[in-house]
């Protein structure tokens, strides 16, 4: 049963085709227009989705070597995300399913990030239930306990900024273009992660906070630049490595705490920040250090993509969890 999936929650327009846990195509059109604004501009994102969606779906079908008549269902991201972006994918998915007379399946984007771990080629071995997932993305930072495919509990989450935002805002302070996460990752490889120290948040339980951390970077940089206007340029690699080390330390401490408290040793990661090489390496290290089994999805299933919407679409298709055409897109959507 071929299923088409549409992802349009933020600034990436994605379409994918899945057949029995195998992704046959996974096309993403990333929007470059936001770079010069230093962040996603919602109005421009909606317009770009509208331009991209038809060619992206067309390409996904072509790459999968099928035609639209072969499709058995259409899944799409209902939320969370930017309303104008969600509406484009949602309206397209509804019309498409209606015209082909096949079922419509709504998907929670955050469940998609997590369940990407179950795509056939995402991990060699798949997690078994229950497992924990550190979901780290541009808008979310959560520790989730997954009891079953579609049964999840949030054990802790950020009370302010997300981990991806921490990377991007730190990057902005360092005059790096948006999104800064991948650039910081790259520069960190040649920088010294122990050179600079930043204030770590003290937050009880399994929650996170990154806004104080960001402010501490800002004040530190302002002070140093006053003394030496070239401070950032002269120390960029070390600054990136030190910032990345701090963020990864914060994330690792909480997922370790969650594992200790629940006794669950299967740990997965998901979301755009899980593309980060240091977090991937540190999670893997946990196998030796803490007796974990780590699940680190293939790179292309970490940042926004439609393959993750396709795997959830398939799981819901198998359970006949179809969606009414009157379903509303939702900017906030609890998993």
* Residues in the annotated binding site for Fe cation: 109, 113, 304
Q: What count of other Cβ atoms lies within 10 Å of the Cβ of residue 50?
A: 18
How many chain residues touch Fe ion (CB under 5 A)? Answer: 2
Phi (first) and psi of residue 88, to 5 degrees: -65, -50
> What are the helix and strand counts (H, E) for the chain?
9, 10
3-state secondary structure (DSSP) of residue 111: helix
**Does the protein bind Fe ion through residue 161 (CB under 5 A)?**
no
> For 141, how many CA atoms within 13 A lie in the half-sphere containing its CB?
24
Q: How far apart are the C-alpha atoms of 265 and 323, rounded to whole Å?
A: 35
Residue among 15, 32, 31 at smallest CA distance from 23: 15
Nearer Cβ to ligand ATP (117/276): 276
Nearer Cβ to ligand ATP (71/122): 122
Q: How far apart are the C-alpha atoms of 5 and 16, rounded to whole Å?
A: 5
CA angle 95, 26, 277 (to 5 degrees): 135
Q: What count of other Cβ atoms lies within 10 Å of the Cβ of residue 261?
A: 12
Nearer Cβ to ligand ATP (167/317): 167
Nearer Cβ to ligand ATP (103/297): 297
**Does the protein bind ligand ATP through residue 297 (CB under 6 A)?**
no
Q: How far is the CA of 137 from the CAs of 228, 310, 323, in angstroms?
A: 34, 19, 26
CB of 331 to ligand ATP, least distance (A): 10
**Does the protein bind ligand ATP through residue 34 (CB under 6 A)?**
no
| Region 300-319 residues binding Fe ion, contact defined as CB under 5 A | 304
280 contact partners, CB below 8 Å, separation of at least 6 = 269, 274, 296
Per CB under 6 A, the segment of 97-105, 176-184, 306-314, 318-326 that binds ligand ATP is 176-184
Nearer Cβ to Fe ion (52/235): 52
Nearer Cβ to Fe ion (141/259): 141
**Does the protein bind ligand ATP through residue 89 (CB under 6 A)?**
no
Q: How far apart are the C-alpha atoms of 268 and 52, rounded to whole Å?
A: 32
| Contact between residue 255 and residue 143 where contact means Cβ atoms under 8 Å apart | yes
**Does the protein bind ligand ATP through residue 168 (CB under 6 A)?**
yes
**Does the protein bind ligand ATP through residue 138 (CB under 6 A)?**
yes
| Contact between residue 136 and residue 274 where contact means Cβ atoms under 8 Å apart | yes
Partner interacting with residue 119 (select from ligand ATP, Fe ion, none; CB below 5-8 Å by kind): none
Binder to ligand ATP among 52, 209, 303, 323 (CB under 6 A)? 303
Per CB under 5 A, the segment of 16-24, 92-100, 227-235, 297-305 that binds Fe ion is 297-305
The H or E element containing residue 16 is strand 12-19
Q: How far is the CA of 328 from the CAs of 46, 252, 311, in angstroms?
A: 17, 36, 21
**Does the protein bind Fe ion through residue 137 (CB under 5 A)?**
yes
Q: How far apart are the C-alpha atoms of 257 and 247, rounded to whole Å?
A: 16
Partner interacting with residue 191 (select from Fe ion, ligand ATP, none; CB below 5-8 Å by kind): none
**Does the protein bind ligand ATP through residue 84 (CB under 6 A)?**
no
From residue 251 to residue 270, the character string flagging contacts with ligand ATP as x (rule: CB under 6 A) and all else as - is: --------------------
- Residue 208 is classified by DSSP as B
Nearer Cβ to Fe ion (139/191): 139
Per CB under 6 A, the segment of 20-28, 45-53, 138-146, 261-269 that binds ligand ATP is 138-146
**Does the protein bind Fe ion through residue 278 (CB under 5 A)?**
no
Name the site residues for Fe ion (rule: CB under 5 A).
Answer: 137, 304
Name the site residues for ligand ATP (rule: CB under 6 A).
Answer: 9-10, 80-81, 109, 113, 137-140, 164, 167-168, 179-182, 185, 271-273, 275-276, 303-304
């Amino acid at each position: 049963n071929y299923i088409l999936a549409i992802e349009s929650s933020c600034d990436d327009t994605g379409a994918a085709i899945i057949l029995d846990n195998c992704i046959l195509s996974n096309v993403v059109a990333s929007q470059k227009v936001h770079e010069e604004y230093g962040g996603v501009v919602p109005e421009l994102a909606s317009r770009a989705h509208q331009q991209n969606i038809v060619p992206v779906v067309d390409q996904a079908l072509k790459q999968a070597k099928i035609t639209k008549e072969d499709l058995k269902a259409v899944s799409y991201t209902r939320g969370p995300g930017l309303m104008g972006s969600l509406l484009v994918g949602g309206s397209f998915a509804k019309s498409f399913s209606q015209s082909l007379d096949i079922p419509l399946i709504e998907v929670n984007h955050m469940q998609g990030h997590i369940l990407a771990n179950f795509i056939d080629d995402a991990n060699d071995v798949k997690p078994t239930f229950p497992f924990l997932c550190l979901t780290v993305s541009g808008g979310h930072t959560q520790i989730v306990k997954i009891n079953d495919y579609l049964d999840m509990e949030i054990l802790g989450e950020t009370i302010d900024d997300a981990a991806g935002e921490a990377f991007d805002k730190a990057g902005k302070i360092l005059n790096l273009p948006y999104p800064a996460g991948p650039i910081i990752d790259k520069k960190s490889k040649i920088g010294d992660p122990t050179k600079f120290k930043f204030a770590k948040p003290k937050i009880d339980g399994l929650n996170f906070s990154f806004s104080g951390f960001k402010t501490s970077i800002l004040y530190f940089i302002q002070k140093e630049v006053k003394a030496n206007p070239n401070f950032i340029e002269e120390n960029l690699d070390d600054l990136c490595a030190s910032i990345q080390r701090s963020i990864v330390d914060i994330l690792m401490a909480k997922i370790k705490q969650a594992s200790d408290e629940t006794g669950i040793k299967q740990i997965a990661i998901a979301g755009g920040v899980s593309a980060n090489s240091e977090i991937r390496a540190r999670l893997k290290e946990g196998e030796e250090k803490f007796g974990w089994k780590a699940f680190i999805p293939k790179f292309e299933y970490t940042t926004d993509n439609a393959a993750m919407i396709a795997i959830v679409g398939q799981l819901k298709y198998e359970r006949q969890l179809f969606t009414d055409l009157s379903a509303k897109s939702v900017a906030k959507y609890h998993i």
